[in-house]
């Protein structure tokens, strides 16, 4: 993987590579139930709507975790490497332990909620580690990071394809094992000194004035500082529009693949096709990161958001030709995630340096909150009315484009940020 070459001269290439791979492994926890949907649904005796809530449990847990992080300032008080390692190990254990217990939908929901909370210490902390290391090249590095999130999301489908003959529990166990490996990678770079040490954290933290007030007051002030910036708000609410579409789309990819192929063939073929559709987003992220070096993050984000919105609009109108529909899904999968790293880069750029972790965490919290709503509604609608239910996702890209308009106007202004 060539991701580290651009930073090798500064001695950070190995660390960036380790972070993006650890992100890939850690985020495989996210959609692990989707890779075991048939076996897990049969074991639980769940309806499609109940399974949708099971998927949403992870999102809700992630929201709770990010809100807790923002309220306490954890994201900017402790080294991100330490948070990432602990969160990955806890998430792996929580994702594993319930598979050994009785068939209880409530127990599994609670476990998945807790896994979501642990992911709040994986995804935002991965972004913070990348932003601190890549600096001027953060947009390209974040593109690789989100590419690994995308691959992590697709991993359960891959595990399902290669382990079709194995029990459904093997998908969960495989995801947990990958998360443990991700924690190990971050531990290795920390021990070797390529990660940011506590001594390097102190100068950045030293710029933050002592907190004379209580933590709640201080954090409230931090949030006011963040959202008082018009550009930060534009990045965050553009991201929220993007998130209305993203995870709901990913959650129904297997359903869309089944509908596209009148004879989807074996479960292995279905899982492989679903994996390829989601994993196509890796190309979108990487290409977007490269292009952003020339055009700026705002333009890349707007183009990808408009493109995914267009795919959302036209997909139900396409002829019912299997290969055409699968190709359209792959293109949609490429576009739907390509804007995510660019929104993260924009939010990190416009947040105060000492509040980068909190800013990214709050942005994630808001985005994932709306994703819960779209996931649950779409899971129910698509079972009732079919593929045309994806039009539910269209308002996300439209409103996201409207929200991020200040970033695009600024780019066309005579005086721009040199990094834009």
- Summarize the confidence of residues 385-408 as an average pLDDT: 94
Dig out the tokens for 211 from the structure. Answer: 């907190």
3-7, 222-226, 305-309 — which is least confidently predicted? Answer: 3-7
Q: What is the DSSP letter of 12?
A: -
**pLDDT for position 212:** 40
The answer to whether residue 58 scores a pLDDT higher than 80 is yes
Per the model's pLDDT, the better-predicted residue between 88 and 413 turns out to be 88
Per the model's pLDDT, the better-predicted residue between 21 and 152 turns out to be 21
- Summarize the confidence of residues 338-356 as an average pLDDT: 86
The answer to whether residue 197 scores a pLDDT higher than 70 is no
Share of the chain above pLDDT 90, in %: 29
**pLDDT for position 369:** 87
Instruction: Quote the mean pLDDT of the chain.
Output: 80
Q: Specify the fold of 10-204+212-412.
A: Growth Hormone; Chain: A; (1.20.1250)
User: Cα angle at 279 between 274 and 283, to 5 degrees?
Assistant: 145
Domains of the chain, by residue range, sit at 10-204+212-412
What is the three-class DSSP state of 192? Answer: coil
**pLDDT for position 263:** 66
> How far, in whole angstroms, is CA 54 from its chain's centroid?
18
- Summarize the confidence of residues 248-270 as an average pLDDT: 80
**pLDDT for position 204:** 40
Q: How confident is the model at residue 264 (pLDDT cuts 50, 70, 90)?
A: low
Q: How confident is the model at residue 210 (pLDDT cuts 50, 70, 90)?
A: very low
**pLDDT for position 196:** 41
Q: What is the DSSP letter of 263?
A: S
Sign of CA dihedral 99, 243, 303, 295: negative
| Residue range 66-101, pLDDT digits in tens | 888 877 777 677 888 889 999 999 999 998 988 888
Most confident segment among 70-79, 170-179, 321-330, 376-385: 321-330
> Dihedral, CA atoms, 190, 193, 199, 203, nearest 10 degrees?
-100
pTM of the full structure: 0.74
Specify whether the CB–CB gap between 119 and 91 falls below 8 A.
yes
Reading phi first (left if > 0) and then psi (alpha if -120 to 50, else beta), residue 353 is in alpha
Specify whether the CB–CB gap between 234 and 405 falls below 8 A.
yes
DSSP letters for 98-150: GGGS---HHHHHHHHHHHHHHHTTTHHHHHHHHHHHHGGGHHHHHHHHHHHHH
Dig out the tokens for 379 from the structure. Answer: 């899971």
Most confident segment among 103-107, 278-282, 389-393, 406-410: 389-393
Q: How confident is the model at residue 192 (pLDDT cuts 50, 70, 90)?
A: low
> Dihedral, CA atoms, 346, 349, 353, 356, nearest 10 degrees?
10
32-36, 183-187, 371-375 — which is least confidently predicted? Answer: 32-36
The answer to whether residue 217 scores a pLDDT higher than 70 is no
The length of the chain is: 420
The answer to whether residue 218 scores a pLDDT higher than 60 is no
**pLDDT for position 151:** 77
């Amino acid at each position: 993987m060539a991701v580290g070459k651009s930073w090798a001269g500064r001695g950070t290439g190995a660390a960036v590579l380790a972070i993006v791979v650890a992100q890939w492994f850690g985020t495989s926890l996210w959609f692990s139930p989707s890779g075991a949907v048939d076996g897990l649904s049969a074991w639980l005796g769940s309806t499609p709507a109940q399974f949708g809530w099971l998927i949403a449990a992870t999102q809700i847990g992630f929201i709770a975790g990010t809100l807790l992080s923002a309220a306490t300032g954890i994201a900017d008080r402790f080294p991100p490497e330490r948070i990432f390692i602990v969160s990955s190990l806890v998430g792996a254990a929580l994702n594993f332990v319930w598979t050994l217990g009785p068939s209880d939908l409530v127990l599994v929901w609670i476990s998945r909620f807790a896994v979501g909370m642990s992911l709040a210490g994986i995804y935002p902390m991965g972004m913070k580690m990348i932003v601190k290391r890549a600096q001027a090249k953060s947009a390209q590095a974040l593109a690789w990071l989100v590419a690994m999130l995308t691959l992590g999301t697709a991993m359960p489908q891959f595990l399902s394809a290669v382990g079709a003959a194995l029990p459904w529990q093997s998908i969960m166990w495989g995801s947990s094992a990958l998360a443990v490996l991700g924690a190990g990678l971050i531990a290795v770079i920390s021990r070797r000194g390529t990660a940011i040490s506590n001594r390097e954290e102190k100068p950045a933290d030293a710029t933050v004035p002592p907190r004379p007030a209580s933590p709640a007051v201080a954090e409230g002030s931090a949030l006011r500082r963040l959202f008082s910036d018009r550009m930060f708000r534009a990045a965050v609410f553009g991201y929220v529009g993007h998130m209305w579409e993203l995870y709901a789309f990913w959650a129904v990819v297997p359903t869309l693949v089944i509908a596209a192929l009148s004879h989807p063939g074996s479960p292995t073929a279905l899982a492989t096709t679903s994996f390829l559709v989601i994993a196509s987003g890796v190309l979108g992220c990487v290409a977007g990161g490269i292009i952003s070096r020339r055009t700026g993050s705002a333009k890349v984000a707007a183009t990808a958001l408009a493109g995914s919105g267009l795919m959302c609009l036209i997909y139900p109108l396409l002829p019912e030709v299997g290969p055409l529909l699968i190709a359209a899904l792959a293109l949609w999968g490429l576009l739907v995630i390509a804007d995510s790293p660019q929104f993260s880069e924009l939010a990190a750029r416009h947040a105060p340096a000492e509040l980068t972790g909190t800013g990214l965490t709050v942005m994630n919290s808001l985005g994932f909150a709306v994703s819960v709503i779209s996931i649950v509604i779409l899971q129910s609608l698509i079972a009732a009315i079919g593929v045309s239910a994806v039009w539910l996702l269209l308002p996300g890209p439209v409103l996201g484009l409207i929200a991020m308009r200040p970033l695009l106007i600024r780019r066309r202004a005579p005086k721009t940020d040199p990094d834009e």
